[in-house]
């Protein structure tokens, strides 16, 4: 019996890794930067109590704030990225911990700024901004501060909250260590007896393997590893949920949901409207499960069949080919956009695509002001990997343009808009490939990838968002939460989504909450669904060519960073997400894909 294993991090080719040395050449250089950062903190503290001196003092304090923030970003990116790709690297893990502690210290040093600005009075601040052109850039920051002023506490309380950031990040990092370092998975077993190692870097490709026995055993063994630690995982997650509730109460928000949405000026109705539209469209998912079951020729569809290839000869897409197709698809955005993207992937090593033992699950885009964008993923030479790469490049190009066109103060955009740029790229690439790759086998595979993307963002994430609302509500009411309760809540929600079309393994489906880092970011997951809805609306505007300004408006959206409220930035780009229309339209696209797949496979 043979066995397939993942290589150690030290065994992967350099060209498949990202260039962290472009941030700091060595860990020693990183340590020097940490020392410099600590040495800068007294120079910021020196402005505490002095902002009332006038606009020039305020400008100097903000410039010092930005200097420290830029350096902290580099320190954090270098440390956290190194830890993310090799959870067995104890030195990298120690640097990540050191960076988090330093970040909390910096946050505490900066905590006086907002309360002191508020004490000056907003009329005074607006007068300073009007009279001194050098302060004009602060206008949006002050407007945001005024809107959330009821939730900003005294300088002393803000300092305590900032210091709490380090110990309060413990749940997030306990999850990360349990999931990416300590969990041991039994190998998947193929029909011929071959064993395949399960890891966070390989589970995706195993769940799309053509051998059903590989998929079934991979899905079961992956879930079983989490179930073995269900009580520990539940304790970690409930700690994080209670921390969300704590922050909401300290800042005088009615709920954790309000605390997550209101700072970005997003009404909670946006969340509730999405949930309502999602539930109304569950029959589309029921039809898809039925089409997939018939196409696979199985009596009962398992969750492990949701990404099974529907046809043989799955398209092989090497990394370089993926980059080329993405570049061609994004050509409507212009030569500059494409050139930056191509250099980043092929010359500047933005992408850590290696599949190695100890690499954390999933994919993400990172980076900071003054660094290159960085992408972590596990590339598997298929359309799913191409789509993930396009998605993360959407984030990275958003960050690139935001940092290139905004001061540090506005270089970070809100989470609500973050998933628009990523899904925009996927929509553009999907449309390009559908038009240029006309072979029916490729088209079926492309629709499978599209449905996999929709499955994650328009099925899994809204279901997790419903789960998130339920468990936060219970925590706010003081109701009990434990592993079995969490499993039961999520299992019931998934049962609605799967209907009678999917074999229901209650425990293994219910433990899905333990597999998502996203649940440690207060009400983040719903934004994948609003993101894909907004992205499709904007991409359609560029693709159909009827509006010659659509591409330039989209680029302006990328460049705006955090200098506008999210809903305002999207509206100026061409989509209104306060309306249910974009979400309903995206569900229409989903229904059309299901119908097209049904026709291509002739399974009606």
The token pair at 172 is 């997030």
Sign of the C-alpha dihedral computed for residues 356, 11, 213 and 284 taken in this order: positive
- Work out the angle between the directed axes of helices 122-131 and 55-85 (0-180°, nearest 10): 100
Q: Which helix (H) or strand (E) holds 375?
A: strand 374-376
Q: Which residues have a Cβ under 8 Å from the Cβ of 326 and sit 6 or more positions away?
A: 341, 386, 389, 390, 393, 425, 429
Taking CA atoms, 216 is separated from 202, 308, 404, in Å, by: 14, 10, 46
| 528: number of Cβ within 10 Å | 23
76: which 2 tokens?
Answer: 């954090």
Rg (CA), the chain: 24
Residues pairing with 166 in the sheet: none
What residues pair up with 374 in beta bridges, in sequence order?
A: 366
Residue 578's CB is within 10 A of a number of other CB atoms, namely 14
Dihedral, CA of residue 247, residue 253, residue 256 and residue 259, to nearest 10: -80
Q: Is 392 annotated in the active site? A: yes
> With the C-alpha atoms ordered 253, 259, 262, 268, is the resulting torsion angle positive or negative?
negative
CA torsion angle for 258, 261, 267, 270 (degrees, to 10)?
-110
Angle between helices 415-436 and 526-543 (to 10 degrees): 50
Strand order in the sheet with 351-352: 351-352, 374-376, 364-366
What's the rounded Cα separation, in Å, for the pair 418 and 501?
A: 33
Would strands 351-352 and 374-376 be described as parallel, antiparallel, or unpaired?
A: parallel
Q: First and final CA of the chain: distance in angstroms?
A: 41
Structure tokens at 58: 């305020």
Distance CA 577, CA 531 (A): 9
Phi, psi values for residue 372, rounded to 5°: -70, 155
For the residues of 3-35, what is the DSSP string, one character each?
A: EE-PPPGGGS-GGGS--GGGT-SSHHHHHHHHH
Out of 116, 158, 262, 392, the active site residue is: 392
Query: Among all residues, which ones are annotated catalytic?
Result: 392
């Amino acid at each position: 019996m043979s066995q397939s294993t993942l290589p150690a991090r030290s065994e992967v080719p350099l060209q498949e890794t990202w260039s962290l040395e472009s941030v700091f050449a060595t860990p020693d250089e990183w340590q020097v930067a940490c020392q410099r950062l600590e040495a800068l903190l007294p120079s910021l503290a020196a402005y505490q109590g002095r902002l009332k001196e006038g606009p020039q003092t305020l400008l100097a304090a903000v410039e010092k704030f930005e200097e420290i923030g830029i350096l902290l970003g580099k320190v954090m990116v270098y440390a956290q990225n190194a830890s993310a790709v090799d959870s067995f690297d104890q030195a990298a893990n120690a640097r990540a911990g050191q960076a988090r502690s330093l970040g909390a210290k910096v946050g505490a040093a900066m905590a006086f700024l907002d309360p002191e600005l508020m004490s000056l009075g907003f009329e005074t601040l607006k007068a300073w901004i009007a009279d001194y052109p050098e302060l004009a850039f602060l206008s949006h920051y002050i407007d945001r501060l005024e809107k959330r002023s009821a939730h900003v506490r005294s300088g002393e309380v803000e300092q305590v909250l900032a210091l709490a950031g380090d110990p309060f990040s413990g749940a997030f990092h306990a999850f990360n260590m349990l999931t990416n370092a300590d969990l041991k998975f039994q190998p998947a077993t193929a029909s011929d007896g071959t064993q395949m190692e399960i890891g966070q870097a390989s589970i995706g490709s195993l769940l799309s393997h053509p051998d059903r026995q590989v998929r079934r055993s991979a899905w079961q063994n992956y879930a079983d590893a989490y179930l073995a630690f269900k009580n520990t995982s539940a304790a970690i997650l409930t700690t994080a949920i209670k921390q969300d509730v704590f922050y909401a109460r300290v800042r005088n928000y009615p709920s954790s949901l309000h605390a997550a949405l209101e700072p970005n000026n997003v009404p909670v109705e946006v969340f509730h409207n999405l949930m309502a539209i999602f539930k109304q469209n569950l029959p589309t998912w029921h039809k898809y499960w039925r089409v997939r079951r018939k196409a696979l020729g199985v009596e009962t569809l398992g969750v492990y069949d949701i990404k099974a290839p529907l046809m043989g000869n799955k398209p092989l897409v090497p990394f370089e080919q993926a980059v080329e197709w993405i570049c061609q698809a994004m050509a409507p955005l212009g030569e500059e956009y494409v050139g930056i993207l191509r250099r980043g992937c092929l010359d500047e090593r933005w992408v850590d695509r290696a599949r190695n033992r100890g690499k954390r699950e999933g994919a993400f885009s990172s980076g900071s002001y003054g660094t290159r964008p960085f992408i972590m993923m596990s590339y598997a030479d298929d359309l799913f990997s191409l789509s993930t790469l396009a998605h993360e490049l959407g984030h990275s190009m958003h960050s690139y343009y935001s940092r290139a066109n905004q001061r540090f103060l506005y270089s970070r955009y809100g989470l609500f808009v973050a998933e628009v740029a990523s899904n925009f790229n996927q929509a553009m690439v999907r449309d390009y490939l559908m038009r240029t790759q006309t072979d029916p086998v490729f088209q079926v595979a492309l629709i499978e990838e599209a449905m996999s993307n929709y499955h994650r963002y328009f099925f899994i994430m809204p279901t997790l968002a419903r789960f998130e609302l339920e468990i936060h509500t219970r925590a706010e009411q003081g109701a009990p939460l434990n592993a079995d309760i969490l499993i039961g809540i999520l299992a019931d929600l998934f049962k609605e989504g799967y209907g009678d079309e999917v074999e229901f393994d209650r425990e293994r489906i219910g433990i899905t909450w333990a597999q998502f880092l996203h649940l440690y970011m207060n009400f983040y997951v719903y934004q994948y669904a609003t993101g894909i809805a907004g992205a499709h609306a904007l991409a359609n505007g560029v693709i159909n060519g009827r509006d010659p300004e659509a591409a330039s408006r989209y680029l302006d959206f990328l460049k705006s960073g955090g200098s506008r409220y999210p809903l305002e930035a999207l509206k100026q780009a061409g989509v209104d997400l306060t309306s249910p229309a974009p979400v309903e339209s995206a569900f229409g696209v989903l229904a059309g894909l299901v119908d097209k797949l049904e026709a291509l496979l002739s399974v009606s």
